[in-house]
A and B are shown apart, each in its own frame.
Chain A
Amino acid sequence: MSADAATHDDHTPSLWDWRRWVLSTNHKDIGTMYLVFAIFAGIIGGGLSGLIRWELMEPGLQVFTGEDTGWGAIFGNAHNYNVVTTMHALIMIFFMVMPAMIGGFGNWFVPLMIGAPDMAFPRMNNISFWLLPASFALALMSMFVPGAGADLGFGGGWVLYPPLSTSGHNGPAMDLLILSLHIAGVSSILGAINFITTIFNMRAPGMTIHKMPLFVWSVLVTVFLLLLSLPVLAGALTMLLTDRNFGTAFFAPEGGGDPVMYQHLFWFFGHPEVYILILPGFGIVSHVVSTFSRKPIFGYLGMAYAMVAIGFIGFIVWAHHMYTVGMPVDLKAYFVAATMVIAVPTGIKIFSWIATMWGGSIEFRTPMMWAIGFIFLFTVGGVTGVVLANAGVDQSLHDTYYVVAHFHYVLSLGAVFAIFAGWYYWFEKIFGVKYNSFLARAQFFFFFIGANVIFFPQHFLGLNGMPRRYVDYPDAFEFWNAVSSWGYVIMLVGMVLFFAVLIDAMIRRRKADANPWGEGATTLEWTLSSPPPFHQFSELPKIK
C-alpha cells in the first residue's frame, strides 16, 4: 500500500465494481478501458484481414463465393469481400490504433508525465471513452443490414467515395456507418479538447513546454490535428447523409454537385489522419530508444518541432491521394512539391533516433526490439511514400498493391510496432505485474518476419499492376499473393504469442518494480509505484 492510499478519498475501488468502470473519471482506468477496447477491436480487425488473405491465397473465389456451402453462403459474395476490406480499415484505424495510442497510452501517461493528478475534464474523459463502444456497435451492425440491394454491409472502401456511398449503396448500412463515424469523431474531438487543456494548464511547476517529454509533445500535436481535421470529415459525412436521405446534391453531378469535392474534403481530413495514427508512435519510440540507450534523446527541440512541422505540412498535401481525378497539372505539381517536403522532418526523426543510440549503452530489452524494428520498417514505408509523392509515377502505382504495401509499412508495421513498443515498455507500470520477456521477444520475431513476408511482396504485385480492393486477380499474380498469405500465418503465430504473454502474466502475477528499466528511464511515471496509486501527485512534483 502506498502512502496516498491512506487518505480518505483515495481508496482504490474493487476491480469487480462495475461503477469503477462505467462511471469512471480516473484517467488510468479510462486508459485501461481504451487499451482493452483496442485489443478487442484488433482481434476483429485482424480476423477480417485473415479473411482477405484467405480469399487472395489463390486465384479464383475461395471464401466470398456467394455459393451455399451447406450452412448457407456464410461469408457472402464479392460485395461482402469489399465490406470486409472496408471494415478492416475502419476498425483498425478508428477502433484499434487511435484508441490504443491516444485513448490508451495518452490517457495513462500524459497526466503522469506532466505531473498532473488527472485529466482536466475527467467526466468528459468518461464520455469520450463510452461513445466508442456505441460507435463500434453501430459499425459492426452495419455489416449485417442491407447495403447495396440485397447484399449486406457497406462495401465502398474506408474512404466512402460517392456516388458509390450514396446512390451506389441504397441500404441502411451506410447510414449506420455515417452515424458510427460521427460518434467516433465526437469522441475524438472531446478527447482532443481534454488533452489540449490538460497539457496547457496542468503541467507540474517547472515543466515548461520545452521540458515536456516527447510523448506529451506527440500527443499534443496529434490532438491538434484531430481537432482541426475531424470537423471537416464530419461536414463531409453530413453532406453524404443529406445527399442520401434528404435530396441534397452536394456530391451528385445530376443535381449540380461534384463527387471530387467529397474527395477533397475527405483527404483534407484523411492525410492528417494518417499522421494522427503515427505521431504518438513517434513519441513512444523516442522514450524507448532513449531509455534503453541510457542517453537523453538526441536533438530534443528538433524532434519536437519536427512533429509540429509534420503536423502543419500534413494539412497542405491532401490531394496526393487524388492524382488521378483529373486535377489541373499545376495543382498536381504543387502537391508533389509539398508532399516531398514532409520527408524532411520525417528524416530528422529517423536520424535523431539513430543519433540517440549512437554512443549509448544499448540494452536489447523487449520494448527496444520493437522500437528498432519500428525505425527500420518505418523507413521502408517512408521511402515508398516519396516514390508515390511523384504524381508521374503515382499514375502507375495509384490504387495498386504498391500503395497497400506503402501504408502497411507505415501503419501495420510502423504504428503497430510502436504500439507494441509502448505496450511492453509500460506493461508493468500499467498492470503492476511482470511479463515473460522470452515470449514477448518471440512475438516480436514472428511479427517482424510475418509482416515483412506479407507486405514486401505487395510492392512487386503493385508494380506489376495488381489493383487493390480486388476479390480475385488474374492468374499471373498468384505467386506473390500466395507468399503474402503465408506471411499472414507467421504473423498469426505472433498474435497467439501476444495472448500467451498476457495470460502468463495474469497467472503468475509477479509483482512489478516501480522502475524496471534503470537509470535510462527518466520520466515522471517511473517515480511512482507500479501500478501507480489510484490518485497520484496530490502533491505536485517539482521539476528542477
Chain B
Amino acid sequence: MTDLYGEAMRFLTALALTWTTFAAGAFATPGQPTDGALGFQPAVTPIMEEVTSFHNILLVLITIITLFVMGLLIYVMIRYNRKANPTPSKNSHNTLLEVVWTAVPVLILIGIAIPSFPLLYLQDEIPPEIDFTLKATGNQWNWSYEYPDHEVAEYFSNMIEEEDLQPGQLRNLSVDYPLVVPVNATVRLQVTASDVIHNWAMPSFGTKMDAIPGRINEAWFQATQEGVYYGQCSELCGLRHAFMPIEVHVVPQDVFDAWIAAKAEDEYSEAADTIIAEYTAARETRLAQLD
C-alpha cells in the first residue's frame, strides 16, 4: 500500500517536473509545437514576447480566481452541509458584500486592461521603419508568396506529402518552397486570399491575420532569432484546411540577399533552394558542436 503510494507520488512528481519544464519551453524547439507542452511556443518576435508575458499575468490571475471560487465551494460544502448545519439561516441580502463583489472584479478588469491596450496597439500599428513588404495569398489549398520590393514573382508553397518527407522535415508542417526573411528585419506582411477566407498564422511570431478575398490585411513581425518556424492555416477553408502549412526560414542578411537574388531570376530557382539547404546544414552542424 505505502509502496504503491510512493510509486504514485514519484510518478506524479516526475510528471509535474516534466510538464513545468515543458511549460517553460525549456525542451521546446522554437518554431514548432512540442508534444505534451502546456503553454505557448517560445517567442521569437517582440510581439510574441509581450503576448507571452501578458498571458503569464492573466494565467496567474485566472488561476487565483478559479482556486478562490473552488475554495469557497469546498468550504460551504463542508461547513454548511445538512449534518454540520441543520438549521439554515434566512439571510438573503448583504449590501456591502454585493458592492464588494461588483467592485473588486471591476478593479481586476481595469488592472487587466492596463497592459492589454498597449499590447493591442503594439500589434496593430505597423512601425514606420519597415525593411520590406511580403505578400501572402491564401488559396485552396496552399499559400503563395510575393516579395514586391525585391521583384520576386509569385510562387506557390505546398505542403510536403507524408510519403515525400525528407529526414528532418515535419509531417503536416514542412513545405516545398518556404518563406525566407532576414533575422531582425522588420517585415510588413500583407495578407489576402484568392477564393475563400484563410488565415496566415505563425504561433512563435504571434502573428495571425485573416486572408480575405477582396481585401488586404496588414501585420508586421520582426524575428529576432535564426531558425525554421512553422505555422498553419487558421480559418476553415474546406477539404485540405489542415494541409496548407506555413514555413518561414529566418536567416542572416547575407544568406537572404543571395537567396532573394536567385529568386528574382527564377521564382522556383534550385539555386535558391541550395543556398537555404547549405545554410541550414551548416547551422545544424554548428548547433550540434555547441551541444
Contact = CB atoms under 8 A, between A and B. Distances in A.
Contacts of B241: 78, 82, 469-471
Contacts of A396: 40, 48, 51, 55, 203, 206, 208
Interface stretch (B58-66, B268-276, B277-285): B58-66
Interface in A249-307: 253-254, 258-260, 293-300, 302
B117 A333 contact: yes
B39 A400 contact: no
A340 B33 contact: no
Interface stretch (B177-185, B212-220, B256-264): B212-220
Contact of A77 (B122, B124, B235, B239): B239
Contact of B215 (A260, A364, A391, A400): A260
A78 B243 CA distance: 10
A380 interface: yes
B119 interface: yes
Interface string B29-73: 000111111111100000010110011001100100110011011
Contact of A477 (B33, B195, B212, B239): B33
B233 A467 contact: yes
Interface stretch (B91-99, B129-137, B147-155): B91-99
B2 interface: no
B88 A259 contact: no
A299 B195 contact: no
Interface in A344-366: 344, 347-348, 350-352, 354-364
A428 to B, nearest CB: 20
A163 B215 CA distance: 13
Contact of B55 (A295, A359, A393): A393
A155 B112 CA distance: 37
Contacts of B109: 340-341, 343-344, 386
A460 B125 CA distance: 29
A379 B62 CA distance: 10
Interface residues of A, number: 93
B120 A372 contact: no
B234 A479 contact: no
Nearest to A155: B238
Interface in A319-352: 324-326, 329, 332-333, 336-337, 340-341, 343-344, 347-348, 350-352
Contacts of B77: 357, 362, 364, 372
Given A82-B238, A344-B106, A168 B124 contact: no
A380 B171 CA distance: 34
B187 interface: no
B253 interface: no
Contact of B242 (A157, A354, A465, A471): A471
Interface string B13-39: 000000000000000000011111111
Nearest to A300: B92
B228 to A, nearest CB: 13
Interface string B238-257: 11111100000000000000
A157 B98 CA distance: 41
Nearest to B245: A474
By Cβ-Cβ distance, the 4 closest A-B pairs, closest first, are: A253-B214, A392-B119, A465-B203, A326-B217
27 contacts: A82-B236, A164-B197, A164-B237, A168-B140, A168-B238, A259-B197, A259-B214, A260-B212, A295-B92, A326-B209, A343-B105, A344-B102, A357-B76, A362-B80, A386-B109, A387-B55, A392-B54, A395-B123, A395-B206, A396-B208, A398-B208, A399-B199, A399-B201, A400-B234, A463-B37, A464-B38, A474-B173
